[in-house]
Amino acid sequence: MTVYFIGAGIGGIDYLTVKAHKIISQAEVIIYDALVDKEILEIASSECIKICVGKRGGEISTSQTSINHLLVQYAQEYNAVIRLKCGDPAIFGRINPELAVLRKINIDVELIPGISSALAVPFLANIMLTEKDNSRCLTIITGHDPNILNWSILSQVDTLVILMGGKNLSVITQKLQKYGRSSDFPIAIIKNGGNPKQIQWKGTLKNIVEKTVNISLSPCVIVIGKVVN
Amino acid sequence: MTVYFIGAGIGGIDYLTVKAHKIISQAEVIIYDALVDKEILEIASSECIKICVGKRGGEISTSQTSINHLLVQYAQEYNAVIRLKCGDPAIFGRINPELAVLRKINIDVELIPGISSALAVPFLANIMLTEKDNSRCLTIITGHDPNILNWSILSQVDTLVILMGGKNLSVITQKLQKYGRSSDFPIAIIKNGGNPKQIQWKGTLKNIVEKTVNISLSPCVIVIGKVVN
């Protein structure tokens, strides 16, 4: 009885790790997030039980308590249960409550990292997040609740990568300018990074909202820093 | 004629992506860094030309100019040349000069992300880098030249991940305390992360240097933040 917490990476099978591929192909149960690529689920056998517990902003979703219950229930009944998360579970994967309930009842847990969209999406869009002089310091945040973040610090880091920030773009760009970033500071938004539908916008803190008005930006990665140019 | 910039991840074949595995198995030339796992090089055929251009602190190494020359030379002669970097080339992979010389002579380049030690090593050591309340902001730096960094900002981010910081541990812990971090702030050092020789030390900014005195810490990932506890 082991529950494998696996990062599915940024899209199809190509960006999965060899280890994740092997474990998924032997899985009995997969409990997965909404954005996980269907191609990856098809690696598993047809007998594998596949349960979507996706949480998407605004939509009806499975509660954390229900996910915890599902994990405990299947972990007690099956030997190879996978909790499949998008990207890398280390980065805003919110797996602590799930780990806690499993460890409480002595279920073995194995952690398997994945390719994080925070790093890979800008890289595949030809934006180098670190650079000798322009970017010695890289900071990653989520943008889903900008009001709880410390913008006086965030406005000073060389390069800022924001996950889940599409719908709060306007607040984010305002906060950064309020705390001292110049209005012509560069910003890029990459939507559907790493897959054929990838699209990106570049601009400044002042004009990016106007450039993307009326466009649904999620799922996207936002990069703010001199490395964008 | 394509040069593939590939992230080798954090160790053996398990942590390679499926895409990287496929391209390495078909490579004609691999130009690789010192820390790349030998197991990964063995995926390539016996006819594949394998050239180590490792740069390790203190040792004799191949200059950046020589690496650029090698890349250009092999890219003009072979169809499938790989530049294999440890971890993820997006994170302090210093690939910009190499990309520049290749693009100047119109050689096709493909970027393939890898598992970054900055994220995966703490994760595999059971340190969750992001947490709902304790860590909303994650910053990654290298510690190989602490004097050029802005410690007044770095001392305020929730969680700080430092690559290549082993030999400057003393300076790093002093800088953070000088700029306001309390002496009992938690720190972890993970050496050889993700492989069987993994070892870690936990302590505070005040006592970690003493706890690791006379121990060679490289290669290591340092995590500083409440998430360590």
Q: How many domains does chain B have?
A: 2
**pLDDT > 90 in chain A, percent:** 91
What angle separates helix B96-104 from helix B64-77, to the nearest 10 degrees? 40
Instruction: Please check whether residues A195 and A223 belong to one and the same domain.
Output: yes
Q: Which of B14, B95, B116 sits opposite A18 (nearest CB)?
A: B14
**Segment A41-68, tens digit of pLDDT:** 999 999 999 999 986 655 667 889 999 9
Asked whether residue A1 carries a pLDDT value surpassing 90, the answer given is no
pLDDT at residue number B55:
62
Nearest CA in chain A to B92: A130
Q: Which of A68, A88, A112 is the last residue of a domain?
A: A112
Q: Testing the interface with B: which of A5, A13, A14, A148 to mutate, by most B Cβ within 10 A?
A: A14
Asked whether residue B58 carries a pLDDT value surpassing 80, the answer given is no
Q: Which of A112, A142, A167 is the last residue of a domain?
A: A112
Instruction: Please check whether residues A136 and A161 belong to one and the same domain.
Output: yes
Instruction: Please check whether residues A82 and A143 belong to one and the same domain.
Output: no
Instruction: Please check whether residues A70 and A140 belong to one and the same domain.
Output: no
Beta-carbon count within 10 A of A133 CB: 8
What angle separates helix A64-77 from helix A96-104, to the nearest 10 degrees? 40
pLDDT average, residue stretch A71-85: 97
Q: Which of B62, B90, B112 is the last residue of a domain?
A: B112
pLDDT at residue number A153:
97
Instruction: Please check whether residues B107 and B29 belong to one and the same domain.
Output: yes
Instruction: Please check whether residues B72 and B106 belong to one and the same domain.
Output: yes
**Segment A107-150, tens digit of pLDDT:** 999 999 999 999 999 999 999 999 988 999 999 999 999 999 99
Q: Testing the interface with A: which of B134, B149, B153 to mutate, by most A Cβ within 10 A?
A: B153
A 168-227 residues with CB below 8 A of B?
A: none
Asked if B228 is an interface residue toward chain A (Cβ–Cβ < 8 A), one would say no
pLDDT average, residue stretch B49-56: 85
- B102: domain CATH number is 3.40.1010.10
Domain span including residue B25: 2-112
Instruction: Please check whether residues A57 and A102 belong to one and the same domain.
Output: yes
Instruction: Please check whether residues A108 and A7 belong to one and the same domain.
Output: yes
Asked whether residue B133 carries a pLDDT value surpassing 70, the answer given is yes
Instruction: Please check whether residues B121 and B106 belong to one and the same domain.
Output: no
Cβ distance of B113 and A120 shorter than 8 Å: yes
The mean pLDDT of chain B is 95
- A159: domain CATH number is 3.30.950.10
For chain B, report the end-to-end CA distance as a whole number of angstroms.
49
Its sign, for the CA torsion B44, B46, B49, B50, is: positive
B 95-114 residues with CB below 8 A of A?
A: 95-96, 111, 113-114
Cβ distance of A123 and B116 shorter than 8 Å: no
Asked whether residue B215 carries a pLDDT value surpassing 70, the answer given is yes
Say if residue A130 is exposed, middle or buried (CB neighbours under 10 Å; 0-12, 13-18, 19+): buried
A 67-96 residues with CB below 8 A of B?
A: 88-96
Nearest CA in chain B to A99: B126
Cβ distance of B126 and A142 shorter than 8 Å: no
